[in-house]
Amino acid sequence: MARTFLITGGAGFIGSHLADELIRTGHRVLVIDDLSTGQISNIDHLKGNPAFEYTIDSVMNRALLAELIDRADYVVHLAAAVGVKLIIESPVRTIETNVRGTEIVLETANKKKRPVLFASTSEVYGKASKIPFSEDDDLVLGSTTKGRWAYAASKALDEFLAIAYFHEKRLPVVVVRLFNTVGPRQTGRYGMVVPSFVRQALASKPITVYGDGTQSRCFGYVGDVVHVLPTLLSDRRAYGQVFNIGSQEEVTILELANRVKTRLKSQSEVVFVPYDEAYESGFEDMPRRVPDITKIQSLTGFEARTSLDEIIDRVADYYSTEATSLPGGWGDS
């Protein structure tokens, strides 16, 4: 049965892929995005499609948001400040955007009891050392004097608020913690590592690894991620729950740099940039970030089907043909 989905942040990397998936499967999509980190080029191909409608505005516009939610059956809240580089440079914007924006979305959705899927992040696990991370694990954040943890703290607070709305207000809410989602359309502008490495390799420029490169991550393909989101949102068993979503194919950042270089047959040199130089003095990173995906597998049968090599190839194809002029940077997605 065709449904109408409102995607906040729908012109962003993940939001635009979710819009594609929903329209492909016969649904209608409403998008709101202020283009602070999203790009209109991500949804250009959907313009004119009768199942798609977009509005350039912020979720802080309560009246507009209320109108859009009134027209929707489901809400996917993706609008947020993203990327380590942006978080370090603009901690006030990070906190205000993530906390206030989520508060308004939940409050407005609650008036019509529209089910909400809230996109959180693996960053909330902070400096936890138990691997893999499971949804019920303790969250271990760093000092409040270090801006690097502002994003994780704001997202953790958003999760508390979302779950509180479920228990106290009976608002149908699902929380997903995304682990380094990557793929075509992702820009390196705010510190996302895969597009940055790929663009550097394609341009035969130095591939810049921050820190010593021993930090490891699991990179999940955006197509695999957006495929499961509508399933979660429409399943009542998921309401009030938190789910990890990502791949379990772990790789160090140095290994990733060398794999990109080899995969793309690049002559680029791999160089190291100290964290203090890249971000801020005393910057702290997470040594490993690996998800336990047992919970979402049990409910939905989710699998991360796309390998890292396939992801690198698809990102390279995208930048080779469509995005060679987009700005970039480096960091963690």
User: Of residues 54, 125, 151, 279, which has the active-site annotation?
Assistant: 151
Q: Which positions ≥6 away from 29 have C-beta within 8 Å? A: 4, 5, 7, 10, 19, 22, 23, 46, 51, 52, 53
Identify which of 237, 239, 201 has the alpha carbon closest to the alpha carbon of residue 328: 201
Torsion region of 26: left, alpha or beta (phi above 0 gives left; psi -120 to 50 gives alpha):
left
Cβ neighbors of 282 (< 8 A, separation 6 or more) are 146, 276
Tell me whether residue 151 is one of the annotated catalytic residues: yes
The phi, psi pair for 252, rounded to 5°, reads -75, 160
- Residue closest to 119 by CA, chosen among 248, 232, 247, 36: 232
- Residue 180 and residue 199: Cα distance in Å, rounded? 18
If one counts every other C-beta atom within 10 angstroms of the C-beta of residue 134, the result is 15
d(CA 50, CA 62): 25
Q: Strands (DSSP E) along the chain, which ranges?
A: 4-8, 28-33, 52-56, 74-77, 116-121, 173-178, 181-182, 207-210, 216-218, 220-221, 241-245, 250-252, 270-273
Catalytic annotation, residues: 151
